[in-house]
Structure 1
């Protein structure tokens, strides 16, 4: 075992987050510091991708704010993440759905997985 993986396993705590993948609609609750105050803000959107492995894993979420698309990249081990809620499970055929960026309206819908 090399030194980097040893330090990652030993010192970086892993969060107990639900399993989600591309196409799922999730809500991420995270803390924001403004001066000395902290508050919780949420970001709800569709997961476009999960990238990386282990400690360096990140995921990208996209939401529409009016007519403008807003994307945000979150590290999985971000200390500010309080919780992640899965709102809908999406049925997509690829792991990175960047084609959603060009789609609007009815064309941007993702089929829902039945549970």
Structure 2
């Protein structure tokens, strides 16, 4: 906040939005449900910090603004692993879209019960 007197004239919603806008990441690429993404997350091991990458399909997006979360699922050694990521968190480093898929649902929870070739999604080619 630039000035305390200016803050007293703001209503509660404007005050919360002004604080949130400081922490929202601006340089993120557009992501959609069904995209295969590679997400970099900061991991602390002892006194060192490194980036660990997690690659999977976006099953759903929840909330908006600073509370935006995505659910990402990958299959590792035949076991499905899901993880939720808070996009605007300081531990979230990067996101890279590897492949886009054409989907007709906003949540792809049905992929949890399908295994093998049935879980393939039709690829979508984006124009830049």
TM-score w.r.t. the length of structure 2 is 0.83
**CA deviation digits over 1:21-42, x for unaligned, max 9?**
1110000011100121011110
Structure 2, unmatched stretches of 5+, are 1-10
* Deviates most, 37-46 or 78-87: 78-87
The alpha carbon displacement at 1:91 in A equals 0.5
- Pairs within 5 Å for 1:32-51: 32-51=43-62
- Counterpart in the other structure of 1:87: 98
- Counterpart in the other structure of 1:14: 25
Task: State the 4+ residue runs in structure 1 displaced beyond 6 angstroms.
Answer: none
> If each structure's strand is expressed as a fraction of its own residues, which one has the higher value?
1
Report the Cα distance in structure 1 between the residues aligned to 2:40 and 2:20, rounded to whole angstroms. Answer: 24
User: Which structure's CA Rg is the greater one?
Assistant: 2
Report the Cα distance in structure 2 between the residues aligned to 1:23 and 1:75, rounded to whole angstroms. Answer: 18
Structure 1, unmatched stretches of 5+, are none
Tell me how many residue pairs correspond in the alignment. 114
